[in-house]
Amino acid sequence: MNKKERVAFVINSLNKLYPEVPIPLNHQDPYTLLIAVLLSAQSTDVRVNKITPVLFEKADNPYDMVKLSVEQIREIIKPVGLSPMKSKGIYGLSKILIEQHNGEVPQDFEALEALPSVGHKTASVVMSQAFGVPAFPVDTHIHRLMYRWNFSNGKSVVQTEKDAKRLFPKELWNKLHLQIIWYGREFSPARGWDLEKDIITKTIGRKLVLDKYRQKKSPNKRTL
């Protein structure tokens, strides 16, 4: 298969597996999504989804959030990790939303990325999942699979995002990035990976990746 055919194979395979794709982080609106995505940095969606109901019961909007102290926010979000930085970020961005954006989350990459603790990936998730603006946020699953599928060199998430946007049609980005995440979790994880179940990588995977996998599974077989 040439690259165009491999891209089509990925899209078709993912559409069969995930015709409807849920957003992994529980939220009610752009603000709660923004907070959930911020909390998910170097944590898991499962862990974040356990903490956000507790946090949002006290404050699910910027006006209520700034009534809490940074320390109170930190105590609630401790289980997701990096709580000192994240609590300051949540308080700080809530204050800015009130002062500069009438308490609303801006529908603008530049304005989002200007908020404390909000990087390009977080902004991309919010633009894509809250506002429907085409974006391709790259998480660890997408970064890993784009390399395994020989679509990107794995050097950086910035490069992976560029390659994904170049390869896949823009109108598919918002659904496709979620489909890849779910596929990575279910069939192509970093640990405990079973190539036999990972039909996409097995079919179009990078030769180096496939050879390494098979060598690990059969360490006594030497290639002549």
**H or E segment and range at residue 177:** helix 173-187
The model's confidence at residue 165, banded by pLDDT at 50, 70 and 90, is very high
Q: Which of 60, 108, 139, 163 is catalytic?
A: 139
In terms of pLDDT, which residue wins out, 222 or 116? Answer: 116
Residue type at position 61:
N
The model's confidence at residue 221, banded by pLDDT at 50, 70 and 90, is low
Q: What pLDDT is attached to residue 217?
A: 84
In terms of pLDDT, which residue wins out, 187 or 222? Answer: 187
Q: Does 42 share its domain with 117?
A: yes
Instruction: List the domain range (segments joined by +) for residue 168.
Output: 3-20+137-217
Q: Does 47 share its domain with 68?
A: yes
Category of 59 on φ-ψ map: left (φ > 0), alpha (ψ -120 to 50) or beta: beta
Residue 149: pLDDT over 60: yes
Give the domain-ending residue among 66, 96, 129.
129
The arithmetic mean of pLDDT across residues 201-214, rounded, is 97
What would you measure as the largest C-alpha separation in the chain, in angstroms? 68
CB atoms within 10 A of CB 73: 24
Q: Look at the chain and report how many structural domains it folds into.
A: 2
Q: Does 116 share its domain with 196?
A: no
Known catalytic residue at 202: no
Residue 220: pLDDT over 80: no
CATH number at residue 173: 1.10.1670.10
Q: What pLDDT is attached to residue 224?
A: 43
Q: Is residue 188 part of a domain?
A: yes
Known catalytic residue at 139: yes
